[in-house]
Amino acid sequence: MLDFKNKFYILDGGMGTMMQANGLEPGEVPELMSITHPEVIRSIHRSYVEAGSDIIYANTFGANTHKVPEDCGHTLEEIIEASVKTAKAAGNADTKVALDVGPLGELLEPMGSLKFEEAYDAFRRTMIQGEKSGADLIVIETMTDLYEVKAAVLAAKENTDLPVMVSMSFEESGRTFTGTDVVSMAVTLEGLGVDAIGINCSLGPAEIYPIAEKMCASTDLPVFVKPNAGLPDPRTNEYDIDAEQFAEMMTAYLDLGIAAAGGCCGTTPEYIAAVKKAFAGKERSGRRPAEKKSIVCSAVKPVTIDHVAVIGERINPTGKKRLKQALLDEDYDYILSQAVEQIDAGAEILDVNVGVPKLDDVAMLPKVVKQLQAITDLPLQIDSSNPAAIEAALRVYNGKPIVNSVNGEDKVMEAILPLVKKYGAAVIGLTLDENGIPATAEERFAIAQRIMDCALGYGIAKEDIYIDCLTLTASAQQAEVAETLKAVRMVKEQLGLHTALGVSNISFGLPCRPLVNRTFLAMAMENGLDLPIINPNDEDMMGTVYAFEMLHNRDKNAEKFIERYSEASIGTMSRGASVKETAESAGDLYHALEKGMKAETLAAVKELLKTEDAMTIVNNHLIPALDRVGQGFEKGTIFLPQMMQAATAAQGGFELIKDHLAQSGQEKVSKGTVVLATVKGDIHDIGKNIVKVIMENYGFDIIDLGRDVAPETVVETVKAKDIKLVGLSALMTTTLGSMEETIAAVKAADPECKVMVGGAVLTADFAERIGADFYCKDAMKSVEAANSVFE
């Protein structure tokens, strides 16, 4: 349909500018003009066709359910139909008409409140009608959020058969407003199978050039550009580059081997005609093929597998009671804390596994993925054997993840590899099949080869296939350790694939496991291991990786190694100065808490645990210390950041106590369960989170429903968990209505349930008026309120 190999396409220029010049009023829905003034739209299109545009964008940029008001007198479908038809009527026989798809105008989660699934549904309606109305292709453009692009691309590919082109708007920094870089965009969209990618709007031709150059080097997909005519004047809104200058600057792009070009804001048919003329007779270079690289990415961070990259293995509940419980309770704070630790320790990719018996992983895996990608820019590895859970997670992942894993069994490959291809992921293949793990390296190699051939058959690129040759336990199968290493080398050298390996199994049942682990890790890396799946909090292991990279001269000038270990004392592996564990008395505990010294607080609690019962420490030391801090806060001698420091330090102490109780099989004592939520429509949740931290310190269990929470969700939770106290927060005057509504709903469902409220714009009077039981002007007041409810 589009023949980028043999044909260069001239695109059209600015639409908005032309419509404003032709009578579009401020506040009007531009797409409605296709119905109210089709002749105007038609003549704009016609003038682009006459100027030389081969592809014109229909007047559907904002034709979506979020931008077209329902009461505008026409359905979305009517508007799209009129827009596409008008464009078709303006074109020549060979003019292609694109369904133009712009942003929904609202930011997606986690930056905004729009859910990925809602965005998909909105785009879906537009895409279906676009194809029905006869569009020849779909252009998704002026995007700044890769997540929104993904929703749009899936909506296009799952509901139509049209080719899809995508362009995003970059700043001079080479990133979009939401932080996406060119490489992450290219590898993600190449994976999702779009037909061409490009850059439009925001900058002029000169500023876009280096970004386009990078894009061309990052992908073999056709690349297209639609720059602005420079910068607009704030008074006249006229752009500062004229048609001739624009065309002159655009000719530079021919050397990059781009596939299509046009203009965006400020460009008119005159500009397109000038480009057409300037390009005529000029030789267009062929594209240099992009370097073949293995890259995975989040929306803002690509990781190239050209060095040993550590995959953090800690978010996996196997053998971890606490994480298991956290997954069952949807205690995301704990799960995220496991991620943060690994990030700080130097993991480059995080494995995510939610395999707990009876837990619905199809629902849970995407939830955890969403939570993780809200707080980290590391790429994720989706770890499951359930194809449905893998697909659910792949769908909502923002970027290009790794799927862990397939193996040599046909039915496993048939179920999972098509998903890997569809969502553009990389995949780990385990060298085992229905007969188990073969003993010899040659047999494992054979499975690896089978997996590779099968993946290639599904259209998965060779660079995206990683092989795990499987570590066996040295204590049980000592002779086969060498087989694993040999298999790694064979896969690396003969198949040219990257390799992954879980490492710590090797030492099971042996003394001095860390020594065995790090020795095996070094051996495996020397045999070609690229992606060790390890616990990055284990400094022995990380140090081995850093030393290995340095000794292989990949860590140039030992820069990273020195940065990490320059402060380590001789003969030890700890990074930086070690914490003095000298705090011995409860007096120290208060001092440490008040000063917010986490390490010292931990040391003090540890010390106390030697002599005192866990609950005594809570009641006689931690809580009184916190009370003193709280009193200081009330008196104005301690301020919010200091109180939060103290609370965070105390949190560490409480974690220690919880672990201690869990180990000794005791239940921790809860003072009561409180539901916290930021009300519907409100996305400012820092206040609520402050309250949560403080209340947890005081022994309350918190069910945190998050932000933008519908009244029904609060009510459901209250009923399901028999909740006695709900805390609601709202920051804006515009969301106080939601707060009132939520209180009414809670009271209707359970008149006994108390509600406390807080937030910047609230007052005690107002709180009373909307039916709240407590007005809490700060976090300490919510502790008081909760104490009075649970007394």
Partner 1 sequence: MRIDLPKWINRHQWLDRLGFEDKPDINMLIRLAEAEEKLFATAMPQGVYRVMPVEAITPQGHNIKKHLEECDEVAIMAVTLGAMVDNLIRTSQVRDMAEAVMLDAGASILIEQIADELCRIIDKEQQRCTTVRYSPGYGDYPVMMQTELIWLTDAHRKIGLSVNKNYMMTPQKSVTAVIGMSDEPVTGYMATCKDCHLRNGCEMIRKGQHCVRL
Kindly list the residues in this chain that would bind partner 1 in the complex (CB under 8 A): 26-27, 103, 105-107, 110-114, 142, 144, 169, 171-173, 175-179, 201-202, 231, 234-235, 237, 265, 333, 336-337, 340, 374-376, 595-596, 636, 639-642, 644-645, 647-648, 681-684, 686, 689-690, 693, 732-735, 738, 761-766, 777
32 Cβ neighbours under 8 A, 6+ residues apart: 68, 72, 73, 74, 79
Nearest-approach distance from CB 652 to partner 1, in angstroms: 11
Query: Any bridge partners for residue 676, and if so which?
Result: 704, 727
Residues 32 and 81 sit within 8 Å (Cβ to Cβ): no
Q: How far is the CB of 639 from partner 1 (least distance, A)?
A: 4
Q: What pairs with residue 678 in β-bridges?
A: 729
Report the alpha-carbon distance of residue 280 to residue 542 in Å, rounded: 57
Closest approach of partner 1 to the CB of residue 235, in Å: 4
Nearer to partner 1, 160 or 601 (CB): 601
Interacting residues of 247 by C-beta distance below 8 A, sequence separation 6+:
271, 274, 275, 277, 278
Q: Compute the least distance from the CB of residue 36 to partner 1, in Å.
A: 19
Whether residue 405 is preceded by a cis peptide bond, meaning omega within 30 degrees of 0, is: yes
Q: Supply φ then ψ for residue 681, to 5 degrees.
A: 90, -15
Contact of 426 with 296, CB cutoff 8 Å: yes
CB closer to partner 1, 221 vs 643: 643
> What secondary structure, in 3-state letters, does 595-657 show?
CCCHHHHHHHHHHHHHHCCHHHHHHHHHHHHHHHHHHHHHHCCCCHHHHHHHHHHHHHHHHHH
- In angstroms, the first-to-last Cα distance of the chain is 72
Single out the residue of 197, 222, 247, 249 nearest to residue 51, CA to CA: 247
What's the one-letter identity of residue 78? E
SS3 label, residue 581:
coil
CB of 205 to partner 1, least distance (A): 18
Our CB check for partner 1 shows the closer of 14 and 222 to be 14
Q: Minimum distance between the CB of residue 683 and partner 1, rounded to whole angstroms? A: 6
The three-class DSSP label of residue 248 is helix
Asked whether 137 and 165 are in contact (CB, 8 A), the reply is yes
Q: Is 478 exposed, middle or buried (0-12, 13-18, 19+ CB in 10 A)?
A: exposed
Which residue lies nearer to partner 1 by CB, 551 or 760?
760
Q: By C-beta, is 171 or 659 nearer to partner 1? A: 171
Residue 517 Cβ, how far from partner 1 at the closest point, in Å?
Answer: 28
Residue 761: CB minimum distance to partner 1, A: 6
Nearer to partner 1, 552 or 769 (CB): 769
Q: Which is nearer to partner 1, 435 or 734 (CB)?
A: 734
Report how far residue 773's alpha carbon sits from residue 468's, in angstroms, rounded to the nearest whole number: 58
Q: Which is nearer to partner 1, 573 or 599 (CB)?
A: 599
3-state helix, strand, coil in the chain (%, to 5): 50, 15, 35
Q: CB 637 → partner 1: shortest distance, Å?
A: 9
Q: Which is nearer to partner 1, 595 or 658 (CB)?
A: 595
Task: CB nearer to partner 1: give 340 or 482.
Answer: 340
Q: How far is the CB of 660 from partner 1 (least distance, A)?
A: 23
Structure token digits, residue 60: 């559907």
Shortest distance in whole angstroms from residue 202 CB to partner 1: 8
Q: For residue 648, give the amino acid letter.
A: T
The smaller minimum CB distance to partner 1, of residues 535 and 689, is found at 689
Which is closer to partner 1, CB of 358 or CB of 635?
635
Q: Which of helix, strand or coil describes residue 499?
A: strand
CB of 648 to partner 1, least distance (A): 5
- Partners of 436 in the β-ladder: 433
Determine contact, residues 275/244, Cβ cutoff 8 Å: no
CA-based radius of gyration for the chain: 30
The residue assigned the tokens 């000298």 is: 582
Among residues 471, 520, 467, which one has the least CA distance to residue 490?
A: 467
Min dist CB 528 to partner 1, Å, is 35
Query: Min. distance of Cβ 97 from partner 1 in angstroms?
Result: 23
Are the C-beta atoms of residues 397 and 435 closer than 8 Å to each other? no
Identify the three-state secondary structure at position 283.
Answer: coil
| Minimal distance, residue 334 CB to partner 1, in Å | 10
Q: Hey, is 474 helix, strand or coil?
A: coil
Nearer to partner 1, 177 or 790 (CB): 177
Up-side HSE of residue 519: CA atoms within 13 Å toward CB? 9
Q: Which C-beta is closer to partner 1: that of 172 or that of 613?
A: 172
Q: Which is nearer to partner 1, 112 or 134 (CB)?
A: 112
Q: Where are the beta strands (DSSP E) in 400-474?
A: 402-407, 426-430, 465-468
State the helix-helix crossing angle for 513-526 and 481-490, rounded to 10 degrees. 30
Q: How far is the CB of 82 from partner 1 (least distance, A)?
A: 23
Cα–Cα distance between 39 and 292 in angstroms, integer?
A: 49
Burial 637-672 (b: 16+ CB within 10 A, else e): ebeeebbbbbbebbbbbbebbeebbeeeeeeeeebb
Give me the DSSP letters along 720-787.
Answer: HHT-SEEEEE--SGGGHHHHHHHHHHHHHH-TT-EEEEE-TT--HHHHHHTT-SEE-SSHHHHHHHHH
CB of 4 to partner 1, least distance (A): 27
Q: Where are the beta strands (DSSP E) in 131-195?
A: 137-143, 164-168
Name which of 22 and 642 has its Cβ closer to partner 1: 642
> Cβ of residue 614: shortest distance to partner 1, in angstroms?
24
Find the largest Cα–Cα distance for the chain. 88
Residue closer to partner 1 by CB (options 294, 738) is: 738
CA distance 450 to 435: 14
Which of residues 96 and 301 has its CB atom nearest to partner 1 in the complex?
301
